[in-house]
Amino acid sequence: MIWYKLEDLINGFGASLVVIACFLNRSGKNEWNGKPVLSLNYRPEPQWKQEAPVVAADIQAGNVVWEAKKEWPKLKKAMEESAGVAVSTDRLKLIADLIAKLGLDTKPLEELRSMLSS
């Protein structure tokens, strides 16, 4: 799991992982390895492997986008047509501002915000 690698990296700098913060928590868990998981959006979703019949059928039907950046218009249209959770560009800006205060790279969030607003 990526969190173990991330925690090792953080520990390597002499720091400690005390909380996990994310935009969207699909895991259904509010804690990982004794650390709280904080999110702006909490939406538990089932996890599937590619071999699962329900996933295999979607792959065969062409309902899976493998390269999101290349197919962003298709994804954006699907999101607009769905009754799913709308992503607020204001929330992304808030997250980007918080990440910037921590001295981390905000470029990926800014790119996502730009794609969502276009």
**Cα 57 to Cα 50: distance, rounded to the nearest angstrom:** 10
What are the phi and psi torsion angles at 25 (to 5°)?
-105, 105
Mean pLDDT in residue range 16-40: 88
Contact, 91 vs 47, CB < 8 A? no
pLDDT at 3: 62
- What whole-number distance in Å separates Cα of residue 89 and Cα of residue 116? 7
pLDDT digits (tens, 9 = 90+) for 92-109: 677 777 777 777 777 777
- According to the model, what pLDDT value does residue 14 have? 92
Question: Looking at the predicted structure, is the pLDDT value of residue 12 above 70?
Answer: yes
Q: Kindly report the average pLDDT of the chain as a whole number.
A: 79
Distances (CA, A) of 16 to 35, 46, 61, 91, 107: 11, 30, 45, 27, 25
Predicted TM-score (pTM) of this structure: 0.43
**23 neighbors 41 (Cβ within 8 angstroms):** yes
- Give the percent of the chain with pLDDT over 70: 82
Amino acid 116: pLDDT: 65
Residue 66: pLDDT over 60: yes
